[in-house]
Amino acid sequence: MDASLTPPRRPRGGRALRLLLEALAVTALAVVSLLAVWSHQRDDSPTSDEAIHLFSGAEALEDGFGWLNPEHPPLLKLAGAFALRPLGLRTPCEITPCTSSPFGGYSQWLYGNRAPAHAIVAAGRRPFPWLLAALVVAMHLCVRPHAGPVAALLATGLVAFDPTFVAHAAYVHTDVGAALAFLLVTALCARAAAGTTLWRWLVLGLALGLALVTKFSTVLLVPVVVAAGLSGFLRRREESEVPGRSRVVTRDRAIGALLALGIAALVVQGVYGAVLRRMSPELAEASIRSYLQGRPARPDEVERYAALARIAPPLGHYVAGARGVALLSERGRGANFFRGEVSERGFPLYFPAVLLLKSTPAFLAILVCALPLGILRIRSGGPLPAASHALAVLVALGLSAVLLVVATRSTFNIGARHVLPVWTLLVFAGTVVFGRGLAGRPGLRAAAAAVLVGSAGASLLSAGPSPIAYFNGLAGGAAGGRAWFSDSNVDWGQDLYRLHVYLQERGWEETTTIVAFGGVATNYYSRTARLLDPEKSIAPGRYAVSHMMETLGTRFTREFEGEAAARQVDELLKALKARGRRIALVGGSITIWELPG
């Protein structure tokens, strides 16, 4: 680390005090972030994917089968399922024997088990806020060696107070875990490539293996580890002064990378082997065949991956799961909404716009400042950063670019959560450049960091009880953002309980028709509320319509409930647009309408 990044040596007691204060600051940021997650999580109803993830995790953990949800690797689903154990639930295969897919018993597992549906999801959520706490601490530990404590605290604050991270850390899904995985493997790669110490490669291999069983997009980290093993040219000066040292360093790093890849493969094999421990090769083949046929894959693709699943079930499940995700991205699955338009094919500008409009001003300011600071640092004529610092920034920027390019080509545009790793890597790279670029002006650096963390905190406060629907001023705030985006950017079904409370307080439940979706039945909380009935015409009255239904409701309903129900939703939406009156917004996603006669 540059001398300018650390204060002059002082008595040991002073250094210990500074480290203690720094640790307390990181802890405080993590605690505030956790409190922010819990404050909205307690009123968030189950979102559309959570119960399915828990059902799949319970099948894997308790029954040893892998029929369900192979498009998501099992690690975090297992964590959610483990949190369900105190409830003593019946397992999926107890309800429906797992000689075939137990999905037919899903409703009975969720609604007819030994705990109510909302309690099942609430229990399964418990581990997930801690992923954000881990990300907050990891961000500090990853930035500090490269740019010092001030930049590290800035990075920590930007993540801890980001409304999108705080929103999604409440739910059972894989995206916050993926962000943590990308950060750790990137930082560990840079550290391993800058030396030849064996333990660095061992830790890197373990981190890579856990990343690979967290989310399939982490396969992009494999070539990064390979490149780290070929980075003998990034040796330190003292290594090059020793005859033959360069060759030894190159060899040791290549061996280290092979070792890391081997450990990662063992982790993947071990996790998938445990998940499929009671599944015969024939059933493993049948599960993959059924999964890929539903994508839909070509017949030759189905046969190829099904055969692999029969020969090597763990490998077959992993590869087929990843292929299914790729097919979904290539061929789509339903409609996407962007800027008032609907498309089956997706929008190339969707994810760049998400990054621009859902980022906090503090995050955008770091990106704006980092570029000129980096250029000035290079052109100043001073010493260039050490190889590990430069490599860490370049890998983070490169991975961010690759992830964003892949996202722009996807036909599956359903929310900012899919690019959480991009945010994480850009915070890492931006704060490292910020910290090093202002190393000669420590007072300015500290003041700017404090202002930016305060700004991020203000953004989180402005998001209120629905951080999932946060948008910055460039989008026109939350109201403007709803005109740009739908789905899990705004409405993932999280406000059904808030709607129930709102209607109960006003005595409106029995006279309101709910048109919404979520992870539980539409009237799960509001049992006396009305629902649309295709046999009845649209009547004047009060309607509670979720943003997802306002933007994509006709197509969404056609897919799940049929043409008659879709026509009725379309009729209602047109009537509301023509003569409806908005009464209120519940949470960030459900509008109360009055439709006059």
Residue 43 CB neighbour total at 10 angstroms: 14
How would residue 375 be classed by pLDDT, with cut points 50, 70 and 90? Answer: confident
Backbone CA torsion sign across 266, 142, 452, 364: negative
Cis peptide before 314 (omega within 30 of 0): no
Q: How far apart are CA 263 and CA 269, in angstroms?
A: 10
Closest CA to 445 of 148, 50, 41: 148
Mean pLDDT confidence for 374-396: 74
The secondary structure of residue 416, as a DSSP letter, is G
pLDDT recorded at residue 379: 64
Q: What is the pLDDT of residues 445-494, one digit of tens each?
A: 999 999 999 999 999 999 999 999 999 999 999 999 999 999 999 999 99
Closest CA to 150 of 311, 339, 21: 21
pLDDT recorded at residue 120: 98
How would residue 329 be classed by pLDDT, with cut points 50, 70 and 90? Answer: confident
- Beta-bridged to residue 211, according to DSSP, are none
Query: Alpha-carbon Rg of the chain, whole angstroms?
Result: 25
Residue 135 CB neighbour total at 10 angstroms: 26
pLDDT recorded at residue 552: 95
- Three-class secondary structure of residue 47 per DSSP: coil
pLDDT recorded at residue 416: 95
| Strand arrangement, sheet containing 590-595 | 530-531, 512-515, 541-546, 590-595, 581-586
Using an 8 Å Cβ cutoff, are 45 and 466 in contact? no
- Three-class secondary structure of residue 336 per DSSP: strand
The secondary structure of residue 535, as a DSSP letter, is T
Mean pLDDT confidence for 354-380: 88
pLDDT recorded at residue 382: 54
How would residue 374 be classed by pLDDT, with cut points 50, 70 and 90? Answer: confident
Closest CA to 588 of 462, 461, 521, 495: 495
Q: Which of 174-188, 371-385, 427-441 has the lowest mean pLDDT?
A: 371-385
C-alpha dist (Å) from residue 35 to 20, 39, 106, 360, 450: 22, 6, 32, 19, 21
Mean pLDDT confidence for 357-369: 97
pLDDT of 233 higher than 90: no
Q: How far apart are CA 240 and CA 235, in angstroms?
A: 7
pLDDT recorded at residue 236: 47
Q: Which of 352-366, 368-382, 560-574 has the lowest mean pLDDT?
A: 368-382
DSSP conformation letters of 192-206:
HHT---HHHHHHHHH
Residue 576 CB neighbour total at 10 angstroms: 20
Higher-pLDDT residue of 158, 254: 158
pLDDT of 72 higher than 60: yes
pLDDT of 319 higher than 50: yes
How would residue 247 be classed by pLDDT, with cut points 50, 70 and 90? Answer: low
Using an 8 Å Cβ cutoff, are 64 and 275 in contact? yes
pLDDT of 553 higher than 70: yes
What is the pairing mode between strands 341-343 and 541-546?
unpaired
Closest CA to 286 of 256, 266, 323, 316: 316
Q: Which of 115-124, 167-176, 195-204, 547-556 has the lowest mean pLDDT?
A: 195-204
Closest CA to 576 of 552, 554, 597, 594: 594
C-alpha dist (Å) from residue 537 to 105, 149, 552, 592: 33, 64, 21, 19
How would residue 344 be classed by pLDDT, with cut points 50, 70 and 90? Answer: confident
pLDDT of 238 higher than 50: no
pLDDT recorded at residue 412: 85
pLDDT recorded at residue 10: 56
Using an 8 Å Cβ cutoff, are 213 and 267 in contact? yes
pLDDT of 196 higher than 80: no
Torsion of CA 332, 336, 339, 341, to 10 degrees: 90
pLDDT recorded at residue 378: 66
Q: How far apart are CA 204 and CA 143, in angstroms?
A: 17
Q: What is the pLDDT of residues 21-53, one digit of tens each?
A: 999 999 999 999 999 999 999 999 999 999 999
pLDDT recorded at residue 367: 95
C-alpha dist (Å) from residue 3 to 144, 147, 247, 385: 13, 11, 30, 12
Quote the percentage of the chain above a pLDDT of 70.
93
pTM here is 0.94
| Residue burial 516-531, b: 16+ Cβ < 10 Å; e: rest | bbbbbebbbbbeebbe
| H or E element in which residue 341 lies | strand 341-343
pLDDT recorded at residue 250: 76
The secondary structure of residue 59, as a DSSP letter, is I
Computed over every residue of the chain, the mean pLDDT equals: 92
What is the pairing mode between strands 512-515 and 530-531?
parallel
pLDDT recorded at residue 241: 52
Q: How far apart are CA 329 and CA 409, in angstroms?
A: 8
pLDDT recorded at residue 249: 67
Q: How far apart are CA 269 and CA 272, in angstroms?
A: 5
Task: Looking at 84-162, list the stretches that DSSP marks H as alpha helix, in order from N- to C-terminal side.
Answer: 92-95, 106-111, 117-125, 129-160
What is the pairing mode between strands 541-546 and 512-515?
parallel
